[in-house]
Chains A and B, each alone.
Chain A
Amino acid sequence: MEKVLLEMKHITKTFPGVKALDDVNLKVTEGEIHALVGENGAGKSTLMNVLSGIYPHGTYQGEVFYQDELCRFHTIKDSESRGIVIIHQELALIPYMTIGENMFLGNERGNSYKINWNETYGRAEELLKTVGLKESPRTLIKDIGVGKQQLAEIAKALAKKARLLILDEPTASLNEAESRALLDLLLHFKEQGLTSILISHKLNEIAYVADKITILRDGGTIETLDKNRDTITEDRIIKGMVGRELSDRFPGRGKRAVGPVRMEVRNWTVCHPLYPERRVVDDVSLTVRRGEVLGISGLMGAGRTELAMSIFGKSYGENVSGRLFLEGKEARLNSVRDAILHKLAYVTEDRKGNGLILKNSIRVNTTLANLRAVSRHGVIDRDKEYGVANQYREKLKIKCPGVDRHAGNLSGGNQQKVLLAKWMFADPDILILDEPTRGIDVGAKYEIYCIINRLAEEGKSVILISSELPEVLGMSDRIYIMNEGRIVGEMAGGEATQEAVMARILSPGQRQPGQKGEQNGKD
């Protein structure tokens, strides 16, 4: 009676050095809403990219059956022609085009010599009605809010005659009411026979709409829960998502003396640079102590990077407000230069994009944040610079034939070490490490952890931002948990468990009673 629409069998996908998907199976029945859950990096997006042909047939192992047919998609066009449409988390709409133009982009009405605008806008209007968006299709995308943009994106998918709709965190940037409307729309589509795959981190939403839930963890399928068969509880999902053993992947905290408070942030609020009405960091207060590794946990988009960068000389965001105290004195850091002079360092999560200059040498990258220390009267002392670069190369065990090698030729782990070297050479007291082990192998991770421990033992304060729960738990003396721009919990490193932290992240509604007072009262 149930007809299987899509079946993905034994999908394995490897990237250089990483196995992103390992023998993953997914079965979606016609007319259901199938939720896909898992931590960041569990392989959800990779799986959907395999399905939609972004990773073309041949670059992965395994088989994809769609409508009982073996499919070999080479481009997105191939999968779309079969009615598989994916809506990515970052909306793919062009702000200065109208809703109608966007909906039919790459799928234009009319013939090759002339676009039929009447048909375009006529059809667009019908589709907008089905998704319940009351806007003229001639409105520019930039003039409508994110919620409506999301609806326009769905209308665009319908314009492609979607039979299987894949939504990647569709409610991530929507408010409560908009999210609810979107989910209701999905239920409405379901009645009309449209199948959807929903990727989401919000368990309450999943519980509301999903018929089945497939849990992925570390590139493998853990289990598929069926609403009609299993009792689905948040605990069970969380266990499936995080249930791995904490092995000795961490050097241990050792004995270090955590000293007095070195930095305090009070009521820190930051707005999005493009949408100033959106608060990406909302009333955050925290403290960092001398010789402490402070973990900040949360999912991507929780506002951790934004918090860190806005503290680091307001290098992110609009209307940054709140107070910052360093060693008990209020400090105003209006530029990165200020922040560096106040002995702060921010080691970015995006080492290729805004960390290293890949086409320059290791030496040049190492000294970039503190060129003054290797120069006199504006002239760089090459000898000294070589000395410094070699010193850090040895200290951090950077594997390279020489410090004149381009940073771009190094492996991820070694690039990360160069980035650390750069900021250690800037001689900070407080180091903010943003996802310092992303995309690097286990051995290099361990070395980075050792470096973090050494820094803390030297009396530096390390703020460790990470999406990897075991990492935060294994390294931190104290942990803050962030979600949707707010701090939703604080735990001592020894007491926190993966389940407890994940539960706090996934159930933002249940905030710890009296948590706020606790925080302020502490120091």
Chain B
Amino acid sequence: MEKTKNTDIVKKYTMVIVLVLVTSFFAWQTGGAILLPMNVSSLISQNAYVFILATGMLLCILTGGNIDLSVGSVVCFVGAIGAVLMVNFQVNMYLAILIMALVGTLIGAWQGFWIAFAQIPPFIVTLAGMLVFRGLSNVVLDGMTVSIKDQETFVNLFGGGANCYIPDFFGNGTLNLTCLLAGFLAVGIFLFLQIRNRRERIKKGYDKDGNGGFVIKLAVVSGAVLAFTWRLSQHKGIPTVLIWVLIVVLIYGYITSNTRVGRYFYAVGGNEKATKLSGINTNRVYFLAYLNMGFLAALAGMVTIARMTSAQPTYGQSYEMDAIGACFIGGASAYGGIGTVPGVIIGAVLMGVINLGMSLMGVDQNMQKVVKGLVLLAAVIFDVVSKRGGKLIAVN
């Protein structure tokens, strides 16, 4: 009994353990460079789009392993529209943001309609979207680069340029105290909520987890957050894009674990027929997943052009693969119904660490792709095989 419990814990936190191992490996290989404040900070800003897109992708995957291939193109298209509006048409920045969000959502609605109500396979619909919006990006940009360097507020707001950090209110120049304080505050809130929640659960007799596991979990998470903000405060502080990522992650983490709609995503992916027979409109669930994916792709589009301070027809290529990869590495089931936002965050960080680590080691770009591909395959093989009870070859 005790033994199965331990293997269960290992299974549950496999990716966390892998993340620690992989990070240690790169820290060793790069002489600690990967843990330098500057690199920790760029881990966030470089991978912000992965966090945002992977969260949206998780909802699609939850509905039954369905993926959205079009997100890279939608990111590019929305970015292109925003840049053209702000630069060529001198549209007010906030209006431009609104229009971008609207365009993304409309694209989501368009694809969602065909997938959910006309029941065209998602693979086909989003493959079409991938081509259509890549092409349209070229049309909108006329094949050129549109620079948004002058749109400083926009760029700073979405985490691009040199000045994209939350200003330090008490700073002395070397250590960003605001950032550190935010870290402590976050840990405080986290501990408060967790402990209160557990107390209530124990009082009502729901909780079966051991005390040890709980304390270790709290210590690990708090330690990680503190170490992370410590590193950030040694660089320039909190990148603005981290705020966006946090907002997305917190909201969607809440939706998936606490709301009725969130429950429906899991139910549809877990057993669509049972869900339908429980009086839930499954078509609407599919529609929502893709609608939302469009919206988040728009947000990722804003982040992308801000970081690049320009829009180009080639932006966003293979972003969909990064997002899908983060989901599966983060424990989402390729058959749907299983996966969490925290898991996806781990997956995205792991991908980011692998990217950054290999870049620092000077590994060839092409080999990086090879490694990423193998990691993705390994993660899904692990998922499928462990569910089959450890048998590698399925019985025919």
Please give the residue numbers on chain A whose beta carbons come within 8 Å of chain B beta carbons, in ascending order: 312-313, 315, 335-337, 339-340, 346, 348, 353-360, 364, 368-369, 371-372, 375, 378-380, 382-383, 386-387, 401-404, 422
Distance, CA A382 to CA B337, complexed state (A): 19
- Knowing that A369-B279, A380-B259 touch, tell me 5 more A-B residue pairs with CB under 8 angstroms: A348-B277, A364-B266, A368-B263, A368-B274, A379-B258
Q: Which of A315, A346, A368 contacts B267 (CB 8 A)?
A: A368
Q: Which residues of A contact B281 (CB under 8 A)?
A: 335, 337
Distance, CA A355 to CA B271, complexed state (A): 8
B260 in the interface (beta carbon within 8 A) = yes
Q: Which residues of A contact B277 (CB under 8 A)?
A: 312, 315, 336, 346, 348, 354-355
Question: Can you name 15 A-B pairs with beta carbons within 8 Å?
Answer: A315-B277, A353-B271, A354-B273, A356-B274, A360-B266, A368-B278, A369-B278, A372-B260, A378-B259, A379-B258, A383-B204, A386-B206, A403-B206, A404-B208, A422-B278
Contacts A368-B278, A375-B260 given: A360-B267 contact, CB under 8 Å? yes
Distance, CA A402 to CA B162, complexed state (A): 53
Q: Which residues of A contact B271 (CB under 8 A)?
A: 353-354, 356-358
Q: Which of A340, A348, A354, A380 contacts B279 (CB 8 A)?
A: A340
A251 to chain B, nearest CB (A): 28
B267 touches A383 (CB 8 A): no
Interface residue count on the B side (C-beta < 8 Å):
24
B337 touches A359 (CB 8 A): yes
Distance, CA A387 to CA B204, complexed state (A): 9
B200 in the interface (beta carbon within 8 A) = yes
Distance, CA A337 to CA B208, complexed state (A): 35
Q: Which residues of A contact B266 (CB under 8 A)?
A: 357, 360, 364
B276 in the interface (beta carbon within 8 A) = yes
Contacts A335-B279, A386-B204 given: A357-B270 contact, CB under 8 Å? yes
Q: Which residues of B contact A356 (CB under 8 A)?
A: 271, 274
Distance, CA A359 to CA B383, complexed state (A): 14
A337 touches B270 (CB 8 A): no
Q: Which of A312, A355, A378 contacts B274 (CB 8 A)?
A: A355
Q: Which residues of A contact B259 (CB under 8 A)?
A: 375, 378-380
Distance, CA A354 to CA B273, complexed state (A): 5
Q: Which residues of A contact B267 (CB under 8 A)?
A: 357, 360, 364, 368
B270 touches A360 (CB 8 A): yes
Q: Which residues of B contact A313 (CB under 8 A)?
A: 279
* Residue from A312, A375, A382, A402 whose CB has the most chain B CB atoms within 10 Å: A382
B151 to chain A, nearest CB (A): 37
Q: Which residues of B contact A378 (CB under 8 A)?
A: 259-261
* Residue from A340, A356, A379, A404 whose CB has the most chain B CB atoms within 10 Å: A379
B338 in the interface (beta carbon within 8 A) = yes
B234-263 contact mask (Cβ, 8 Å, vs A): 1 or 0: 000000000000000000000000111101
Contacts A359-B338, A360-B270 given: A336-B263 contact, CB under 8 Å? no
B275 in the interface (beta carbon within 8 A) = yes
Q: Which of B200, B263, B270, B274 contacts A371 (CB 8 A)?
A: B263
- Closest CB pairs A-B (n = 9): A354-B273, A357-B270, A369-B278, A336-B279, A337-B279, A340-B279, A357-B271, A368-B278, A371-B260
B206 touches A402 (CB 8 A): yes
B272 to chain A, nearest CB (A): 9
Distance, CA A369 to CA B276, complexed state (A): 10
Please give the residue numbers on chain B whose beta carbons come within 8 Å of chain A beta carbons, in ascending order: 200, 204, 206, 208, 258-261, 263, 266-267, 270-271, 273-281, 337-338
B255 to chain A, nearest CB (A): 9
A401 to chain B, nearest CB (A): 7
Nearest B residue (CB) for A383:
B204
B261 touches A383 (CB 8 A): no
Q: Which of B204, B260, B270 contacts A359 (CB 8 A)?
A: B270
Distance, CA A317 to CA B270, complexed state (A): 24
Distance, CA A380 to CA B255, complexed state (A): 10
B274 touches A336 (CB 8 A): no
A56 to chain B, nearest CB (A): 12
Q: Which residues of A contact B258 (CB under 8 A)?
A: 379-380, 382
Q: Which residues of B contact A357 (CB under 8 A)?
A: 266-267, 270-271, 274-275, 337
Nearest B residue (CB) for A389:
B206
Distance, CA A252 to CA B277, complexed state (A): 31
* Residue from B277, B281, B338 whose CB has the most chain A CB atoms within 10 Å: B277
A355 to chain B, nearest CB (A): 6
Q: Which residues of A contact B273 (CB under 8 A)?
A: 353-354
Distance, CA A358 to CA B200, complexed state (A): 27
A380 touches B208 (CB 8 A): no
Q: Which residues of B contact A382 (CB under 8 A)?
A: 258
Distance, CA A379 to CA B261, complexed state (A): 9
Q: Which residues of B contact A337 (CB under 8 A)?
A: 279-281
A252 to chain B, nearest CB (A): 32
A402 touches B263 (CB 8 A): no
Q: Which residues of B contact A312 (CB under 8 A)?
A: 277
Q: Which residues of A contact B261 (CB under 8 A)?
A: 378
A31 to chain B, nearest CB (A): 36
Q: Which residues of A contact B337 (CB under 8 A)?
A: 357, 359-360
Distance, CA A354 to CA B204, complexed state (A): 32
B278 touches A336 (CB 8 A): yes
B226 to chain A, nearest CB (A): 28
A336 touches B260 (CB 8 A): no
Q: Which residues of B contact A360 (CB under 8 A)?
A: 266-267, 270, 337
Q: Which residues of B contact A372 (CB under 8 A)?
A: 260
* Residue from B204, B279, B281 whose CB has the most chain A CB atoms within 10 Å: B279
Q: Which residues of B contact A387 (CB under 8 A)?
A: 204
A89 to chain B, nearest CB (A): 22
Q: Which residues of A contact B274 (CB under 8 A)?
A: 348, 354-357, 368
B210 to chain A, nearest CB (A): 14
Distance, CA A336 to CA B279, complexed state (A): 5
Distance, CA A404 to CA B263, complexed state (A): 15
Distance, CA A372 to CA B279, complexed state (A): 12
A383 to chain B, nearest CB (A): 7
A163 to chain B, nearest CB (A): 27
A364 touches B263 (CB 8 A): yes
Q: Which of B200, B206, B275 contacts A368 (CB 8 A)?
A: B275
B206 touches A380 (CB 8 A): no
Distance, CA A25 to CA B275, complexed state (A): 44
Nearest A residue (CB) for B333:
A359
Distance, CA A61 to CA B360, complexed state (A): 65
Q: Which residues of A contact B270 (CB under 8 A)?
A: 357-360
Distance, CA A337 to CA B277, complexed state (A): 9
Distance, CA A80 to CA B4, complexed state (A): 44
Q: Which residues of A contact B275 (CB under 8 A)?
A: 357, 368
Distance, CA A346 to CA B279, complexed state (A): 11
Q: Which of A354, A371, A404 contacts B206 (CB 8 A)?
A: A404
Nearest B residue (CB) for A360:
B270
Q: Which residues of A contact B278 (CB under 8 A)?
A: 336, 368-369, 422
* Residue from A355, A357, A422 whose CB has the most chain B CB atoms within 10 Å: A357
Q: Which residues of B contact A315 (CB under 8 A)?
A: 276-277
Q: Which residues of A contact B208 (CB under 8 A)?
A: 401-402, 404
Q: Which residues of A contact B263 (CB under 8 A)?
A: 364, 368, 371, 380
